[in-house]
Amino acid sequence: MNTVAHVAPRVTGTPSTDRVLVEWVEDIAALTEPDRIHWCSGSQEENDVLLQAMVDRGTLIALNPDLRPNSYLARSEPSDVARVEAATFICSEKPEGAGPTNNWRDPQEMRQTLTNVFAGAMRGRTMYVVPFSMGPVGGELSHLGVELTDSSYVVASMRIMTRMGSGALAQIEAGEPWVPAVHSVGYPLRGADGQEREDVAWPCNDTKYIVHFPDSREIWSYGSGYGGNALLGKKCFALRIASVIARDEGWLAEHMLLIEATNEAGKSYHIAAAFPSACGKTNLAMLQPSIPGWTVRTLGDDIAWIYPREGRLRALNPEAGFFGVAPGTGPETNPTAIAALERNVIFTNVALTDDGDVWWEGLTKEAPDHLIDWRGREWSPDSGRPAAHPNSRFTVRADQAPSIAPTWDDPEGVELDAILFGGRRATNVPLVTESRSWAHGVFLGATIASEQTAAAEGTVGQLRRDPFAMLPFCGYNMADYWGHWLDVGTQVGEGAPKVFSVNWFRRNSDGDFLWPGFGENARVIDWVLRRVDGDAGARNSSLGAHPRREDLDLAGLDLDPETFAELMTVDRKSWLMETDLIADFFAGFDRVPGTLLAELAQLRNRIERE
């Protein structure tokens, strides 16, 4: 076979003056052999050119500018619609570094594998150099990265989701540390023999690797163009790599939304909440409270970095946009998101209407008579399949949400008053429980279980433990991560936020939700914050403290006492079983902190005595 000598790529944009960065870019180009290298500035003109090229190529469909100005629809390959946890690896020096909940690979072996798959992977394409800052550019708590990618969809998405471009590059050139991240969709347009092939609308590869080297703080992602697999600032950096940096530096990188809630008296509080993927973070982040006089403002909907400062915890959203689940987002469930999506949006895998707008299940009560579904096929309400993929998403800048908090891009973050942990639990878990202490709160976080959603490949509906909603996102040994949470609490002491568990998803025997959820969740937030201030009543169960019916503000809500009782029931037998399941779960780790084992023993004791 003839191999064609690689010609030096043509360079556009303004290359960096940073020698280390330039050498790394050259090294990756030598490996992946792109035809062109473009240094991204992040400018509007650059973005316009990229978007137009994607429209011309069929990667994006421009939506009707009268209905949805400056907005686009992308349709991915049906094989590339969600995170691939089975192909996500943590390559710490030793397997114990990754722990039993992560896929570990030997770093040397993985480097060889990556060298093989990345060799020539960008032939015929442009390699974009994408400098970005997680957190405001120049902020003391912010961190920098550079993603090299051959996907212009990724470039346009990173421009929405992060502070991307020359500002971040200037920080790197000033000597700030940065995380290198290499991404290829794995669909070169020319073979090693020079044989050319046509591009496709959504290039990707059946072979996928989402790889993290926590010791050298590097990310390599191959084969997928979708979401957290490809927008490397998000889960790969801001959670998996950042959790390792946070462990070493004494802070926390968390899968949490962040809000400011202001009560009718005008007093404001900050709350962070960890729920697993597609379990309501975006909804709670944009909550329109049903209690008169209350407001909730959004700081973040997916990730929070949390730092101990002077006896308190401060939190910051490192992202600049929302990559939110479309289905279920409607004028009733999330009017704020609907308002945020009026313009400047990239939609992925939703349906297209006949007048060039978008639709998904839950946007309107009645589906349109005719649509083009997420795979580009004809669709009507009797097609018997969803028009939008269950994990279809919108990508939009955070400050387009009318609820955005003025403090959302404050580089110092905000002071936390409460932390919530939640999951999707049809049974057992009451609407809200206040922890007995920080250690008990860490136990609540460590034992979150949730029915699986479409956000990752796997069996939807299956119950799995998802500690701290970080099961797919913790960059090191989960048991050590629990220990780190315990340490941070000890360090902060009295000023630590109060910890609660919540469950919006409990169902009755007919399968209906017992709690109305959405805007009504404000009633739970109200109780939580009054508990923080010591102003609300409660009763104790073996699980912790719960509101009695009279402790919640239920004015204007039709919730009968029987339903409320069912919502709050702590069933002794089920909870004895639950403690067995937790014991089994803990048994899968060889270094669970003694404090958490003691919490489990005490819980079991309380239930047995009940």
Contacts with ligand SPV by CB under 6 A lie at 83, 227-228, 234-235, 277, 302, 323, 455
CB-neighbour burial class of residue 563 (10 A; exposed 0-12, middle 13-18, buried 19+):
middle
Helix (H, G, I), strand (E, B) or coil at 149: strand
**Site of interaction with Mn ion (CB under 5 A):** 277, 302
CA distance 604 to 30: 59
> In the set 151, 184, 282, 349, which binds ligand GTP (CB under 6 A)?
282
User: Which residues 514-533 are close enough to bind ligand GTP by CB under 6 A?
Assistant: 517-518, 521
CA angle 603, 609, 610 (to 5 degrees): 90
Per CB under 6 A, the list member of 28, 325, 449, 552 interacting with ligand GTP is 325
Which residues 487-506 are close enough to bind ligand GTP by CB under 6 A?
A: 504-505
Closest of 306, 307, 347 to residue 327, by C-alpha:
347
Identity of the residue, 324 or 467, whose beta carbon is nearer to ligand GTP in the bound complex = 324
**Residue 335 binding target from ligand GTP, Mn ion, ligand SPV, none, CB below 5 to 8 Å by type:** none
Q: How many beta carbons lie within 10 A of that of residue 540, not counting itself? A: 11
Q: Looking at beta carbons only, is 178 or 515 nearer to ligand GTP?
A: 515
Side chain identity at 240, as an amino acid letter? Answer: R
Q: Minimum Å distance from CB 83 to ligand SPV?
A: 5
- Least distance in angstroms from the C-beta of 140 to Mn ion: 25
Distance CA 259, CA 273 (A): 9
Stretch that binds ligand GTP, among 61-69, 277-285, 442-450, 472-480 (CB under 6 A): 277-285
403 makes contact with ligand GTP (CB under 6 A): no
d(CA 414, CA 100): 34
Integer Cα distance of 59 and 6 in angstroms: 27
Residue nearest to Mn ion (CB): 302
**CB of 239 vs ligand SPV, minimal distance in Å:** 9
* Minimum distance of ligand GTP from residue 566's CB (angstroms): 15
Q: In the complex, what is the shortest distance from the CB of residue 506 to ligand GTP, in angstroms, rounded to a whole number?
A: 9
Q: How far is CA 576 from CA 198, 315, 465, 579, 582, in A?
A: 60, 36, 17, 5, 10
- How is residue 289 written in tokens? 């409270």
Query: Which residues participate in catalysis according to the annotation?
Result: 279
Kindly state the helix (H) or strand (E) to which residue 218 belongs, with its residue range: strand 218-222
Query: Does residue 328 interact with ligand GTP by CB under 6 A?
Result: yes
- Per-position DSSP letters for 392-424, written without gaps between them: -EEEEEGGGSTTB-TTTT-TT-EE--EEEEE--
Closer residue to ligand SPV (CB): 234 or 247: 234
Q: Of 53, 231, 16, 45, which is closest to residue 129 (Cα–Cα)? A: 16
The distance of closest approach from Cβ of residue 74 to Mn ion in the complex, given in angstroms and rounded to an integer, is 19
Q: What is the bridge-based pairing of β-strands 126-134 and 163-164? A: antiparallel
> Residue 227 touches which of Mn ion, ligand GTP, ligand SPV, none (CB < 5 to 8 A by kind)?
ligand SPV
Give the residue nearest to ligand SPV (CB): 228
Helix (H, G, I), strand (E, B) or coil at 513: strand
Residue 255 CB, nearest distance to Mn ion (Å)? 6
Which is closer to ligand SPV, CB of 323 or CB of 408?
323
Q: Among candidates 160, 235, 558, which has minimal Cα distance to 396?
A: 160
Residue (43 or 508) nearer to ligand GTP, CB: 508
Closer CB to Mn ion, residue 151 or residue 277? 277
CA pair distance 68, 59, nearest whole angstrom: 18
Q: Which does 301 bind (CB under 5 to 8 A by kind): ligand SPV, ligand GTP, Mn ion, none?
A: ligand GTP
User: Which part of the chain contacts ligand GTP (CB under 6 A), choosing from 15-23, 146-154, 215-223, 272-280?
Assistant: 272-280
Report the partner that residue 481 touches, choosing among ligand SPV, ligand GTP, Mn ion, none (CB closer than 5 to 8 A by kind). none
Name the residues that contact ligand GTP, by CB under 6 A. Answer: 275, 277-283, 301-302, 324-325, 328, 333, 455, 504-505, 513, 517-518, 521
